[in-house]
């Protein structure tokens, strides 16, 4: 779609300067016929006769913006400056673990010897990469208490599906076809989706009054048709499953497998290991815990580690040494479920993770988790006078409070609190999840935020509650000081405007 340089939808001149909080035009609104951001140089490559040019043309012109390099760079730089990010401030998005990551990991990820390598290069020419994969696998297994691991899965949900496919292959090897996988009612939404994709039926076990798995209810649900359980510990409410050994004994009692969702692994690294709890399959979200920026669609990595008797089902190929560590090659397990991702996973993300692990070491990674738990408990205690804390016992790396009483008293909902927080310079926490808590605010301060930042965040939330009691209308109109004002995301989901033509209509 090509607009003139003097007219654009809404009457804005596409060449008009932008200052302050002026609305940013779309790249199409900046478009003007024949403008270009680059020019191809003349070469001495001989021309080829491709036949009549009409054979190569589309029936209609491609709708691409025509802008100068100056306008293009300025447009995207302005947009980037208006985005909130972990480099700008606190991002207490519960369960998703949006934390600042050290810049040295960026430097590692940019090393030429890592980035300028084709993934199909023969193993004898990429010994450094193979050694990196092999060493990272050892670190992942040591952290989780597992025997072997695949690094292929590119994200947590992919790790979930991989683990469940291993679960299915294990049962098939024993001549069994159990159909049910148990998940708690506070589970991540990806858990039941992954269960279905793997060909199982999701069965929900309820939480007790303490927010933990109801062991008695679990015993009622589990039978010979149970393939396994998917569980994260600490759970999605930020609480450690105190009866974890008993829970897994119930599953193992029917020859089921215990799958550990590593979404909350960052709360226990160096302190406790899923393998020691009794889990058989563990995925680790490297993009949450080990130095890769998380969100915006990627990148990610979700390695899956398993106990020894499941290692033969891992996706291949795996980096292996035949001579004790001098040289490496690719090997595929005998009963592998096959590839789950092209080539060798998101390799540069894996390099970042290993650099982070080696930099911190054993004590540093333990301190990372201890600080995450300390920050969460401090903030939870501080907010107890402003919001109802969902569960009384100490939390791990995250916690859930409820705005249900605030809504009843003032009409201000959890969503309104979250949006108002944006005006204080903080990203909003997760809202309305887990579903077992009404008007939920799920807050994870992470280990990288200072006491001063936590104090400022707590004060901002307390001020919002005070304002709600004085002027609820003001709160529900927030945010007012962000580049984009209050949005109706429910309407956007129901009536998405996906093209410029739709917008003009």
Is residue 93 a part of any domain in this protein? no
Instruction: Using pLDDT thresholds of 50, 70 and 90, give the confidence band for residue 23.
Output: confident
CB count in 10 Å sphere of residue 98 = 18
pLDDT, the chain, mean: 91
| Same domain (yes/no): 351, 368 | no
0.85 exceeded by pTM: yes
Is residue 353 a part of any domain in this protein? yes
335 and 355 in contact (C-beta within 8 Å)?
A: no
| Same domain (yes/no): 180, 321 | yes
CATH code, domain with 239: 3.40.640.10
Residue whose tokens read 């106990």:
307
- In order, the DSSP letters of 160-182 are HHHHHHHHHHHHHHTT----EEE
Which of the 8 DSSP states describes residue 92? Answer: -
Name every residue whose Cβ is closer than 8 Å to that of residue 294 and which is 6 or more positions away in sequence. Answer: 96, 97, 98, 99, 285, 287, 288, 300
| Same domain (yes/no): 295, 163 | yes
CATH code, domain with 427: 3.90.1150.10
Rounded CA separation 340/354 (Å): 21
Write down the pLDDT at residue 175: 98
Q: Average pLDDT of 449-471?
A: 98
Instruction: Using pLDDT thresholds of 50, 70 and 90, give the confidence band for residue 40.
Output: confident
432 and 403 in contact (C-beta within 8 Å)?
A: no
pLDDT at 374 over 60: yes
- Token pair in block for residue 238: 């930020």
| Same domain (yes/no): 294, 177 | yes
374 and 399 in contact (C-beta within 8 Å)?
A: no
Residue whose tokens read 């927080």:
421
pLDDT at 427 over 70: yes
Domain housing 221:
126-360
Point out the domain boundary residue: 30, 53, 82: 82
Count helices and strands in the chain by DSSP H and E runs: 17, 13
Q: Average pLDDT of 168-174?
A: 98
Number of domains in the chain: 3
Q: Average pLDDT of 335-359?
A: 94
Rounded CA separation 482/425 (Å): 9
Rounded CA separation 313/257 (Å): 14
pLDDT at 390 over 90: yes
Calculate what percentage of the chain has a pLDDT beyond 70.
Answer: 94
| Same domain (yes/no): 148, 18 | no
Instruction: Using pLDDT thresholds of 50, 70 and 90, give the confidence band for residue 17.
Output: very low
Instruction: Using pLDDT thresholds of 50, 70 and 90, give the confidence band for residue 41.
Output: confident
pLDDT at 407 over 90: yes
Is residue 103 a part of any domain in this protein? no
| Same domain (yes/no): 325, 370 | no
Is residue 333 a part of any domain in this protein? yes
Write down the pLDDT at residue 503: 56
Write down the pLDDT at residue 500: 60
> From residue 60, how far is each of 4, 36, 51, 63, 328 by CA, in Å?
19, 20, 20, 9, 53
pLDDT at 297 over 90: no
Point out the domain boundary residue: 59, 82, 105: 82
Is residue 19 a part of any domain in this protein? yes
Point out the domain boundary residue: 360, 379, 409: 360
Q: Is 213 helix (H, G, I), strand (E, B) or coil?
A: strand
> From residue 280, how far is each of 134, 167, 181, 270 by CA, in Å?
21, 9, 14, 19
Write down the pLDDT at residue 5: 34
Name every residue whose Cβ is closer than 8 Å to that of residue 372 and which is 6 or more positions away in sequence. Answer: 266, 267, 396, 397, 444, 445, 446, 447
| Same domain (yes/no): 133, 228 | yes
| Same domain (yes/no): 158, 267 | yes
Is residue 487 classed exposed, middle or buried when 0-12, 13-18 and 19+ CB atoms within 10 A define those classes?
Answer: exposed
Residue whose tokens read 């939920």:
440
Q: Average pLDDT of 408-414?
A: 98
Is residue 12 a part of any domain in this protein? yes
48-52, 74-78, 453-457: the lowest-pLDDT one: 48-52
Residue whose tokens read 């889990």:
279
pLDDT at 14 over 70: no
- Nearest of 291, 358, 321 to residue 131 by alpha carbon: 321
| Same domain (yes/no): 443, 328 | no
Write down the pLDDT at residue 59: 83
345-355, pLDDT tens digit by residue? 899 999 999 99
Is residue 87 a part of any domain in this protein? no
Write down the pLDDT at residue 86: 87
User: Exposure pattern of 200-229 as b/e (b: 16+ CB <10 Å)?
Assistant: bebbebebeeebbbbeeebeebbeeebbbb
| Same domain (yes/no): 160, 276 | yes
Q: Average pLDDT of 365-393?
A: 97
29-33, 254-258, 409-413: the lowest-pLDDT one: 29-33
> From residue 253, how far is each of 56, 222, 259, 488 by CA, in Å?
65, 9, 15, 49
| Same domain (yes/no): 352, 438 | no
Is residue 238 a part of any domain in this protein? yes
| Same domain (yes/no): 65, 5 | yes
Helix (H), strand (E), coil (C) string for 355-423: HHHHHHHHHHHHHHHHHHHHHHHHHHHHHCCCCEECCCCCCCCCEEEECHHHHHHHCCCHHHHHHHHHC
């Amino acid at each position: 779609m090509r607009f003139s340089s003097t007219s654009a939808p809404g009457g804005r001149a596409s060449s008009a300067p932008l200052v302050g909080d002026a609305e940013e035009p779309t790249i199409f609104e900046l478009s003007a016929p024949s403008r270009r951001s680059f020019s191809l140089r003349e070469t001495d490559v001989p021309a080829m006769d491709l036949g009549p040019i009409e054979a190569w043309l589309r029936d209609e012109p491609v709708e691409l913006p025509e802008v100068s390099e100056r306008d293009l760079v300025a447009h995207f730089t302005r947009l980037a400056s208006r985005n909130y990010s972990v480099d700008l401030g606190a991002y207490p998005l519960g369960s998703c673990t949006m934390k600042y990551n050290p810049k040295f990991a960026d430097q590692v990820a940019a090393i030429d010897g890592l980035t300028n390598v084709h993934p199909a290069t023969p193993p004898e020419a990429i010994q450094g990469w193979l050694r990196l994969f092999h060493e990272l696998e050892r670190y992942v297994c040591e952290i989780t208490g597992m025997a072997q691991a695949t690094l292929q899965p590119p994200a947590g949900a992919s790790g979930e599906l991989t683990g469940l496919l291993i679960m299915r292959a294990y049962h098939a090897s024993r001549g069994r076809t159990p159909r049910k996988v148990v998940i708690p009612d506070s589970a991540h939404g990806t858990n039941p989706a992954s269960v279905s994709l793997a060909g199982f039926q999701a069965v929900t076990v309820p939480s007790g009054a303490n927010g933990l798995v109801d062991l008695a209810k679990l015993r009622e649900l589990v039978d010979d048709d149970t393939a396994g359980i998917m569980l994260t510990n600490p759970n999605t409410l930020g609480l450690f499953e105190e009866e974890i050994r008993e829970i897994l004994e119930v599953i193992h009692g029917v020859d089921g497998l215990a799958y550990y969702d590593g979404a909350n692994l960052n709360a226990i690294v160096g302190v406790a290991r899923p393998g020691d709890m009794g889990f058989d399959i563990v995925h680790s979200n490297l993009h949450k815990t080990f130095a890769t920026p998380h969100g915006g669609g990627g990148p990610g990595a979700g390695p899956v580690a398993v106990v020894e008797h499941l290692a033969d089902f891992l996706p291949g190929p795996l980096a292996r040494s035949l001579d004790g560590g001098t040289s490496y090659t690719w090997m595929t397990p005998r009963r592998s479920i096959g590839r789950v991702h092209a080539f060798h996973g998101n390799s540069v993300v894996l390099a970042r993770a290993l650099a982070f692990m080696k930099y911190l070491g054993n004590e540093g990674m333990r301190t990372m988790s201890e600080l995450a738990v300390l920050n969460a408990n401090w903030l939870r205690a501080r907010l107890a006078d402003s919001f109802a804390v969902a569960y009384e016992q100490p939390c791990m790396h995250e916690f859930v409070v409820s705005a249900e009483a605030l809504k009843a008293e003032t009409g201000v909902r959890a969503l309104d609190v979250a949006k108002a927080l944006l005006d204080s310079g903080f990203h909003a926490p997760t809202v309305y999840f887990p579903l077992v808590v009404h008007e939920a605010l799920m807050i994870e301060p992470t280990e990288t935020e200072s006491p001063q930042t936590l104090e400022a965040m707590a004060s901002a939330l307390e001020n919002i509650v005070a304002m709600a009691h004085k002027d609820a209308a003001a709160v529900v109109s927030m945010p007012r000081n962000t580049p984009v004002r209050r949005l109706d995301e429910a309407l956007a989901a129901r009536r998405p405007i996906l093209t410029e033509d739709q917008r003009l209509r």
